[in-house]
Each structure stands twice: as structure tokens, then as C-alpha cells.
Chain A
């Protein structure tokens, strides 16, 4: 490609960034509030409306907002995928011990920590899963 077309590309990206700056600044301002809201929803899921899935979806929106603001494509898809498998294994083991094996009858004081921990597991799993799906469909370069 010659210099002329390079200039065109530069100019095009310049205009794009100018129009995207508003969105970037506003998303950056909202970022901590979304984070606090998502963690609140997951942490209080056993007492108030919400729970793992809803909080996880909010966290996924947060992670995707990062890709919009920073224009970074550094998601390690394989790492996140393996993490997801690990979380699913935990999701099988923890209720298997606590609910199905009847541990909750012997230790009733562990019921609320169990609920909070399970909400965190589900929240992380949903957040990572939705992030991978939207990232791969939306932001992946090229195809």
C-alpha cells in the first residue's frame, strides 16, 4: 500500500476515535458503579432479589465495557475456558458434598456461607461465559 492509502486509514481512525470519545469517557465514569452493583447483587443474592446469574451478567457487561473503552484484544480465551471448566468442577463438588450428601443437616451454621459461595461460583461462571461469547462474536478481529 502506498502512503496515500495509509493517510486515509489514519484519517478514518482519527474520526472514529473522535466520535467514540464520548462513549469512552462516559463508560469510564460508570465503570466503578457497575462493578459495585454487580458485586452487591452477587453477594446479597441469598437475601435480596438477584443472585449469581444476574450479577454475573452485570459483571460480563463490565468486562465488555473494558474492551469498548480501551480497544484491547487481550482476552486469553483458552485460559478463561480452562477456568470455566474448573469452576464447573467446583460447582459439581460443592453441592454434591453439602446438599446431596446431607452435610447441611449436620452443620446448619454453614448454610449461609454455602449460599454465598455458590452464588459467587455461578456469578463468575456466567460472567466469564458471556464475556467469551460476546467477545468472540463481536470483537474478534478479522472474521
Chain B
């Protein structure tokens, strides 16, 4: 009975680790999988292997994966503006507080050793959302700025905290999209 329960939970955790979108959560599932694997070794009366599996599988390997995820390199940012068909670099760099926001995101990326890749596009935001290639989409209509982050990249959580702290005067809205939507609602663009 105990054996069947352990084996079944190992199967469930292996599938969860494979099919979870956000990688940080998948790594934690994998670490729990290793822990249950070590319990199973103990049940089969191999305490030597159980100790080694517990330390390596749920300790060192998890640590290695989490630090590797922190170094996820390229962070692609897409900037869409429905008011102007074309956006020049000058508008971003010399702009007022909104340009500062874009530069702030770049600085944020540099502080975390990410490589920001800025793309400007005249496409409507729904098309950009459907392509799903970007980690972060900055969408501006008139005065309203919406920042839509890909759920699979966990950097958006830290970025949201920063933007909420520093940009309360701008009407900045932080939304999520992509990944599996069980963690909250997707952002639906208004048609305009």
C-alpha cells in the first residue's frame, strides 16, 4: 500500500514536472519527486542510496537549476503604440516620463544580467499577444500604459513590484498572458 502510494505520487510528480509551464515551479516539483524517490529507496531498505538521492536530488540539483534559471539570458520586450504607426528611437530616449519607463526596464534587465531586446511594432496588441514570442509587451494607448508579461518568465513578478513602487503617477497596468492560465486570468485586449 505504501509502496503503491509512493510510486503513484512519483508518477504524478514526474508528469507535473514535465508539463508545468513556469520553470521555477517545475524545478520544485522535480525536487519533491527526488525526495519521494529517496523515501522509496528507504522503503526498499537501501538507506545508503536514500541519503545520496536526498542530498543530490533535492539539494544540489535544485540549487543548480534555480541558479541557472536566474541566468536566463535574453529578455525580449515589445513596444506597441496604436497612436503612431511608426515609433522612432528618439521618442523613447528623449521622451518624458514614459521614455524613462522604457529605460528603467532596460536598467532593470542590466541589474539582473539579462539582455533586453527591444522591438517596436505598429501591429495591434492582439496580434502580438497571439504570436506569444515576447517576454514583455508594453502597450500604450493615449495616456494609458499596459504592461503585459509572459507568465512563463518569472522576471515579471519582480518587475511588477518595482513598477508599482516607482510609477504610481503614471497609469501603469500590469497584466499576464501565456503559459497555463490556471494561475489567473489572461489579459484581453480591448478592441479600438
Classify A-B as touching or not with yes or no (CB < 8 A).
yes
Interface residues of A (CB under 8 A from B): 1, 4-5, 8-9, 11-13, 15-16, 41, 49-51, 53-54, 57-58, 60-61, 64, 68, 130, 134, 137-139, 142
Contact, CB under 8 Å: A64 / B162: no
| B48: Cβ under 8 A from any A Cβ | yes
Nearest neighbor of A50 in chain B, beta-carbon distance: B51
Contact, CB under 8 Å: B51 / A41: yes
| B166: Cβ under 8 A from any A Cβ | yes
Contact, CB under 8 Å: A11 / B59: no
Name the segment of B2-10, B24-32, B86-94, B107-115 touching the other chain: B107-115
Interface residues of B (CB under 8 A from A): 47-48, 51-52, 55-56, 59-60, 63-64, 67-68, 100, 103-104, 107-108, 110-113, 158, 161-162, 165-166
Contact, CB under 8 Å: B111 / A138: no
Contact, CB under 8 Å: B56 / A11: no
Contact, CB under 8 Å: A8 / B165: no
A12 in contact with B108 given A41-B51, A49-B47, A139-B67 (CB within 8 Å)? yes
Contact, CB under 8 Å: A64 / B48: no
Partner pick for B107 among A5, A16, A54, CB 8 A cutoff: A5
Could you say which residues of chain B place their CB within 8 Å of the CB of A53?
A: 52
Nearest neighbor of B52 in chain A, beta-carbon distance: A54
Q: What is the CB-to-nearest-CB distance from A57 to chain B, in angstroms, rounded to a whole number?
A: 4
Could you say which residues of chain A place their CB within 8 Å of the CB of B108?
A: 8, 12
Q: Select the residue from B52, B55, B60, B64 with max chain A CB neighbours within 10 A.
A: B55
- Total A-B pairs in contact (CB under 8 Å)? 69
Contact, CB under 8 Å: B52 / A134: no
24 of the cross-chain contacts (CB-CB < 8 Å) are A1-B107, A5-B107, A8-B104, A12-B108, A12-B162, A16-B158, A41-B51, A49-B47, A49-B48, A49-B51, A53-B52, A54-B51, A54-B52, A57-B51, A57-B52, A57-B55, A57-B60, A58-B55, A60-B60, A61-B59, A137-B64, A137-B68, A138-B64, A142-B113
Could you say which residues of chain A place their CB within 8 Å of the CB of B166?
A: 8, 11
Give CA–CA (A100, B82) in the complex, Å: 80
Could you say which residues of chain B place their CB within 8 Å of the CB of A8?
A: 104, 107-108, 111, 162, 166
Could you say which residues of chain A place their CB within 8 Å of the CB of B112?
A: 12
Partner pick for A11 among B55, B64, B162, CB 8 A cutoff: B162
Contact, CB under 8 Å: B60 / A134: yes
Contact, CB under 8 Å: A64 / B104: no
Could you say which residues of chain B place their CB within 8 Å of the CB of A57?
A: 51-52, 55-56, 59-60
Give CA–CA (A29, B15) in the complex, Å: 34
Give CA–CA (A57, B112) in the complex, Å: 30
Could you say which residues of chain A place their CB within 8 Å of the CB of B47?
A: 49-50
Contact, CB under 8 Å: A134 / B63: yes
Contact, CB under 8 Å: A138 / B48: no
A9 in contact with B111 given A15-B162, A49-B51, A58-B55 (CB within 8 Å)? yes
A138 in contact with B63 given A8-B108, A11-B165, A57-B56 (CB within 8 Å)? yes
